[in-house]
Structure 1
Amino acid sequence: MPDEQSLIDEAWRRIPQGRKQASPGRFTRARFERIAQVLVAVAGAVLGGQTLVIAVTDGQFQAHPVVLGITMSSLAAMIVTAAVGRFARLAAGVFAVGYVAALAWWCFVDIGGVDPIAQPWPFFLLSVATGAALVAFSLPWQIVWAIVPPLLFGIAQLLRADFAETAWEALGYDTSVAILLNLLIVVLGWMYRGIANGVDEARSRVVEAYTDARAVEAAEQERIEIASLMHDSVLAALIAAARAETPRERQLVVDMSREALTRLADAETAGPEGSDAPRGVSEMAAAIEHAASELGVTLTVPVHVPDGDVEIPGRVARAVVLAAKQAVANAVHHADAVGLAASVRADGAGISVEVSDRGPGLDVGAIPADRLGIRASIMARLAAVGGEGHIDSGSHGTRVTLTWSATDDDEGDRT
């Protein structure tokens, strides 16, 4: 049975993915972080270019080339790393801290350098700094970066204007708009991160549910296969050994025991029952005849096909033959092979196998749950490959009908 990690990997592979994705638990969150980095890079490039033009045309760059150069260099590094998706958080954090330091320096050093009512170069980077904090910092620090730099800028401008009435109106508007815009950026980031986390949690629950269901299915399938193997081979060999009297019967028991031990030894392999290549209907009929001969009875299985032989997918052919073998074994063991007969009919639409006897019959509904000869070896085995098994039993005898119909995919497998 597949282990839990292989099942989780299988479930994760079923989710559509791009070329490179995060783990199942961080898929949507990683997508949002990448989108946020790209948006910050675009905003930084646009507003950074505007800031540089204003600083150069107003003479501010020529007056303070070092501080402006460092600030713009860190901004350029953040834009590049955010665009390529490598070291974006580190570069964003460096710019966010460096911008606040440059803003503080500008507030206390460049007191008389610009018009207090104008919008100097630091103003255009207020929202960019908040975007950088969104990429680099946790929510509390994002709020700090959304509020403190605009307030620091507004206080510095008021100091320059000597708290003039005209400055209050203009700076009050600029500062409040900057704070509201920054808080909007933080709120949107917080909201979309929450949505991404919720989607990731839902996806994780779906993957876990699929894993649990797949594990249960694999365990049940393995139980059916092992139960069928034990019933078909091991118990049949033991019953035949108990009834063997002649040298011929004993030799048949030896052959059956050898086959049972081989199948048990191969139970853990990927394909213990041979190749999955298509098998002809005539070959399947011969296998049923051989199974009957191993049980000490002679059985001729006529094949009815419309035109030549028909090939059946290997997995289906194995299931049908093994189920037919079990039906023959039941007829031998419970009806002493009285009136035992079998036939195979096949065409392009599927295959049907009938095994019948004229024994006393049985009540299928009264079979105990721990008897697996019919439930596991016939019904469950056919159902596992998309087929059906039907049993008609009464005083007239028992007829087991095994049917399988081809689908479009199965047609493709046979071509």
Structure 2
Amino acid sequence: MSTGADGTRAPLTADVAPFGTDPSRGVRARITQASTERAFAILLALAAVGLGVVDAPAVVHQLPVLDPLWGPVVVVAVAASFVFVGVSALVQRFAQPAQILCALVFFVALVTWPLTLRDDLPAGQVPWPWWFCNVGTTAAAMGFAPWRATVYNALVPIVYIVIRLTPAGGEVGLTRALLDGVYTTILGIVTLVLAVVLRRAAAAVDSAQATAVRRYSHAIREHATEVERVQVDAIVHDSVLTTLLSAARADTLEAKTLASRMARNAIDHLAAASDGPREVPPVPLAELHARIGAAVSALAAPVAVRGGPFGMHNAPAPAADALASAAIQAAVNSVQHAGDGVERWVSVDVSASGVVRVEVGDDGTGFDADAIPAGRLGVRRSIIERVAAADGIAEIHTAPGAGTRVVLTWPARPVDRAEAS
């Protein structure tokens, strides 16, 4: 419990563990390696097929000056590699093989251009591989490892510059050849850098997402372990220790019979906890009210039970058990520590939206929550953490000489419950 700015004490509560929804299902990464590779395949397919269709008439126009055998073979091979790239955009497992094949076939076509040309190239025309240089460099950037793609992007401009300086390339002069080579180099480098950067970013996103999933799974396991530990601790405190104390003080036959019955109940509670969760129907709030009333009526001091009507409202069995056990423990604490001649009460209410509120209070001596020893389980385990484990919240309002009010609310987040329904 902490002290507020106005000097009053804030209620002692426990944070509810936010493990209701798997974040990996609600939030999806926008950039992943798979999505990046698919985008690369689609972009290369559009470039290859699009440029192939647009420049096909110009390639056909150059066929008369090409070798009648090798020229059409090279043209068909390059066209087939472009078609393969286009198909790979629809079948992702073919993407990298298609990219590598496209890059290699184009490089062969570029290198063998002088052997392909039979007559002189018409004035004003460029070798048809020029129109597809950037398709080849892009395919290499996407299909090869970065260092291989770098070598490829360096070789293609060099080979093209050499060809343009020869009669087979038109002998356009050093300046024009260098300009064409630099243009191809710049576009190839830009494509390669973008591919490397995006792939690394996607790999980082995938790694971060995998790490988050592992951490979430670990947190879920830890939370489940903590919930089980809280349940067992609460049972030990509420049932086992109380039974042992009652047995130690049992001097009469009635007291011994009561201690024996309490021992059987404690054993049943521990057995139920070890069996794990079971499908149990919801508990009507009227039954919850009656259960709390029957339990507090057996205490050594009178406790007024209020609340109702509850209509058709009910609560899940785990939540009802947690509320009833926490309320009974709070009433036991009040009987033991609040003093004699004190007014005590328990009230059970439900709002129109189905939020259950159980209040256990007295006008007794109260206590300083900050002074509770860490080894004491009564308030922390049997009340606060028990209710928090059932997705509720427990608040302890108390101060020395000011009485005590224990307010139990379920669910802790009504908005989430409404959204879930």
- With the length of structure 2 as denominator, give the TM-score of the two structures: 0.78
- Distance in 1 of aligned mates of 2:168 and 2:101: 31
Give the counterpart letter for 1:322 in structure 2. S
The equivalences for 1:239-318 within 5 A come to 239-267=245-273, 271=277, 275=280, 277=282, 279-280=284-285, 282-292=286-296, 302-305=305-308, 309=311, 311-314=313-316, 315-318=318-321
Instruction: Give the corresponding residue for 1:21.
Output: none
Q: 8 Å contact 2:123–2:170 — kept in the other structure?
A: no
Give the counterpart letter for 2:289 in structure 1. A
Instruction: Give the corresponding residue for 1:401.
Output: 406
- Distance in 1 of aligned mates of 2:132 and 2:91: 21
Instruction: Give the corresponding residue for 1:329.
Output: 332
CA offsets per residue over residues 249-294 of structure 1, 9 Å max, x none? Answer: 334333333332233233355536x7362531x312211133346x
Which 10-residue stretch deviates more, 212-221 or 188-197?
Answer: 212-221
CA offsets per residue over residues 90-136 of structure 1, 9 Å max, x none? Answer: 11112211222222222334264534762222111211111111221
Q: Relative to 1, partners in 2 of residues 1:380 and 1:107: Cα closer, same or farther, differing over 3 Å?
A: same
Instruction: Give the corresponding residue for 1:24.
Output: none
The equivalences for 1:211-250 within 5 A come to 217-250=223-256
Question: Is the partner of 2:273 in helix, strand or coil?
Answer: coil
Gaps of 5+ in 2: 1-18
CA offsets per residue over residues 164-183 of structure 1, 9 Å max, x none? Answer: 4x433332322221122111
Q: Relative to 1, partners in 2 of residues 1:179 and 1:286: Cα closer, same or farther, differing over 3 Å?
A: same
Instruction: Give the corresponding residue for 1:29.
Output: 33
Question: Is the partner of 1:302 in helix, strand or coil?
Answer: strand
Which 10-residue stretch deviates more, 187-196 or 246-255?
Answer: 246-255
The equivalences for 1:3-402 within 5 A come to 10-16=22-28, 28-59=32-63, 63=68, 64-110=71-117, 112=119, 114-115=121-122, 118-160=125-167, 164=171, 166-204=172-210, 206-207=212-213, 210=216, 217-267=223-273, 271=277, 275=280, 277=282, 279-280=284-285, 282-292=286-296, 302-305=305-308, 309=311, 311-314=313-316, 315-331=318-334, 341-348=344-351, 350-355=355-360, 364-384=369-389, 385-392=391-398, 399-402=404-407
Number of positions where the alignment pairs a residue of Structure 1 with one of Structure 2: 393
CA offsets per residue over residues 230-267 of structure 1, 9 Å max, x none? Answer: 21222222222223344443343333333322332333
- Distance in 2 of aligned mates of 1:340 and 1:47: 90
- Distance in 1 of aligned mates of 2:138 and 2:181: 17
Q: 8 Å contact 1:351–1:405 — kept in the other structure?
A: yes
Give the counterpart letter for 2:182 in structure 1. S
CA offsets per residue over residues 46-70 of structure 1, 9 Å max, x none? Answer: 1122343222123258832222212
Which 10-residue stretch deviates more, 169-178 or 372-381?
Answer: 169-178
Q: 8 Å contact 1:229–1:264 — kept in the other structure?
A: yes
Instruction: Give the corresponding residue for 2:12.
Output: none
Q: 8 Å contact 1:278–1:312 — kept in the other structure?
A: yes
CA offsets per residue over residues 184-226 of structure 1, 9 Å max, x none? Answer: 2112212222333344444455555655655554444443233
Q: Relative to 1, partners in 2 of residues 1:223 and 1:59: Cα closer, same or farther, differing over 3 Å?
A: same
Q: Which has the higher helix share?
A: 1
Q: Which has the higher contact order (CA 8 A, sep 6+)?
A: 2
Give the counterpart letter for 2:43 in structure 1. L
RMSD, aligned CA = 3.7
Q: 8 Å contact 1:93–1:132 — kept in the other structure?
A: yes
Q: CA deviation at 1:370?
A: 0.6
Give the counterpart letter for 2:145 in structure 1. S
- Distance in 2 of aligned mates of 1:179 and 1:411: 60
Kindly, what percent of the aligned residue pairs are identical? 28
Q: CA deviation at 1:88?
A: 0.5
- Distance in 2 of aligned mates of 1:372 and 1:275: 27
